[in-house]
Every structure is written in C-alpha cells, then in structure tokens.
Structure 1
Amino acid sequence: MSDEPTPSQHMPIVSSSHLASEDAMALSEFEYALTMMNNAFQRWMQSCSSTSGMPELSPLDILVVHNIYHRNRPKRIADVAFTLNIDDLHTVSYSVRKLAKFELVEGTRQGKDTFYGVTDKGAEFCNQYRDVREQCLVDALKRMNLNDQLGEVATMMRTLSGFYDQASRAVRSL
C-alpha cells in the first residue's frame, strides 16, 4: 500500500519537513501558512502605503501609525507595543521617531510620559490608506463572502497567539 495521498486526500504543505513530525504535521502546515500570510500581508501594507503617498514606511511603521490613529486618542510607546504584542520597545520607539520625522505623528509631554497622536498629515495618510484598502482588498473579500469566516479565523489566531506566548515563556525555563 502506498503512502502517497490520493487526489481527494489532504496533502500537507510545510516548509520544514524536519519539524513536521506525525504529531506536529498540522502545526507545521499552519506555521508555513502563517509565514506566507505574514509576508503577503507585509507586502500588501507596503504597496498600500506607497499608493497612499508614503513609500518610505516599513510594515511596522504602518502598524504603529494606524494604532496611534485608532480612536483618535494619543498613546504612549508602551501602549502601542503592548497592543501590537511587541516586546522590543526600541523598535516601536524608532518607528515613532521615523513617523515624527515624516510629520505623521507628534508627541505631547504629560508628566513623565510622552503621548503620541497623528498630525493632520498622519490622519490624511491613514484615511487614504483606508480608501485604497477598501477599493483593492475589502471589495474583493466582500464579493467572496468571507467576512464571517475571517472573524472566526481572527478569533482562532488570537487564541493561538496565547499558546505561542505561553510556549515562549516555557522554553525560557528549559
């Protein structure tokens, strides 16, 4: 009997076969899909940012400016890092300095803390990005009736991020 899958069987696609043990095949397949999704998402963000007039921004810069603009409430660097699940505050701090250099955000001191908000130019960029996103991505997904499924996938991915966070803590004690 052959171990080759028949055309109707699911054929796992993984990037690192040495990690794809019998017990970890689905996890390996998920991690490869997540890697592909992350890279495609970052490429998309940069393309959308370029079309919106800011080709200089990295994917992290784009996430940071949108997070600062979220609900139009100023935020501390630590708040942005926490929300985006980033441990290294220095990368967020660097991104905020870069965004300030491009006049997309500005800081205001309140006691010991600095709170950052978007400038008019930053709001204009975020809104232009939203418009491009609506035109090129949202409409295509709407035609495919994926909204409900995307919500379920997002919930599952947030839950899985907790498993990865816990595993990260556990591995540090080995």
Structure 2
Amino acid sequence: MKKSEYFPIVSSSHLMGKDSVTLSEFEYALTMLNNAFERWMLSCSFASGLPELGPLDILVLHNMHHRDRPKRIVDVAFTLNIEDIHNVSYSVRKLVKRELVESERRGKDTYYKVAESGREFCAEYRKIREKWLVDAISKLGISDQLGELAATMRTLSGIYDPASRAVRSL
C-alpha cells in the first residue's frame, strides 16, 4: 500500500456513493464530535456540582443564561434548532424543579430566567471550561479556524433542514 493512498473513515460505508464519500466522512466526524461534546458537558456539569443534568438540560440552562434575558420555551427551542419542543419543555421543568430556573407569566406566555443557583452553576462551569477545554484548544493554535468551521457548520445546517423537510413530504 502506498503512503499517499487515502481511505476515508466512515461508520456507514453502505451510504457512500461516489459523490458522497466526503459527506459520509464528515457525518461520522460530526457524530464523534457530538458524542464527545455531550460527554464533555456531562463531565463539566458533574465537576460543577450538578451530576444529574443531561446534555439538553445543560444546553437549555446556558441558553437561558445567554444575555441574561427571560426566554420562552419556544425561543430556546428555536435558538438551539430543536424541533421537538416537548423535550425542551421537559428540560425546563427539570431546571425549575432544581431551582436553577424561575418562571414568570407575561400575559398568556411564560418566560424563564436563570435563578441565582443557576448563575452560580454557569460560573463554575465556565471556570472549569476555561481551565480544561479552552486552554487545551488554544495550545493547538486553531481558534481562527474554529470560527470558520462554525460558520461552515451553520451553513450546512441550512442544507440539512430543507432536505429533511423535503424527505418528510415523500
């Protein structure tokens, strides 16, 4: 075997066509990254004192803390690109029960904001993230590339979403 030969790393070779090798490779890498990211969130949450939170709970809490503005469940789901609002609603109920999030009624709508204990958790999560994740990534010298990659991934989500809607209409 020549050193220059390239073998893609994929998890589902049966999905690869001649024009989709790199897409299959990307999707496998995305799966690995998503699983590693969820494992990271769980570990960081555990170290921050809340081992009972799941990945979605953590994402919802951080999203609610973003810009320190009360948000509706539908707004959180939209921002996180989550179609099943019931999952976000369940997560919010868990966060309210643990007194990490508080609710307030405004007319017909319920808005949620992060409580003081939620702020403390987010601050501790940030400290741990800075020490163990941000430092490790900064040593790789890829911070600029991460921004470009994030923009590309957001663009790709704009391709997957309409393709998903189209397939549902079959």
Shorter-chain TM-score bucket reads: over 0.9
User: Which residue of the partner structure matches residue 51 of structure 1?
Assistant: 47
Q: 2:35 aligns with which of 39, 42, 50?
A: 39
Map of 2:120 onto structure 1: 124
> Which residue in the other structure is 1:94 paired with?
90
The residue identity in structure 2 corresponding to 1:41 is F
How far did 1:172 drift? Answer: 1.5
Q: What's 2:168 paired with?
A: 172
* TM, length-normalised to structure 2: 0.98
Pick from 45, 60, 65 the counterpart of residue 56 of structure 2. 60
2:14 to 13, 18, 22: 18
Q: 1:135 aligns with which of 131, 137, 140?
A: 131
> 1:69 is matched with which residue?
65
What is the rounded CA distance, in whole Å, between the counterparts of 1:15 and 1:100 in structure 2?
A: 39
TM-score normalised to the size of structure 1? Answer: 0.96
Distance in 1 between residues matched to 2:25 and 2:103, nearest whole Å: 43
The CA distance in 1 between the partners of 2:66 and 2:74, in whole Å, is: 15
Matched residue pairs, number? 170
Once the two structures are TM-superposed, the CA of residue 8 in structure 1 deviates from its matched residue by 2.4
**In structure 2, C-alpha distance between the alignment counterparts of 1:78 and 1:145, rounded to whole Å:** 37
1:38-85 superposed Cα distances (whole Å, 9 cap, x missing partner) = 000000000000000000000000000000000000100000000000
- Partners of 2:118 and 2:6 lie apart in 1 by 46
Deviation above 4 Å: which 4+ runs of structure 1?
Answer: none
Structure 1 unpaired stretches of 5+ = none
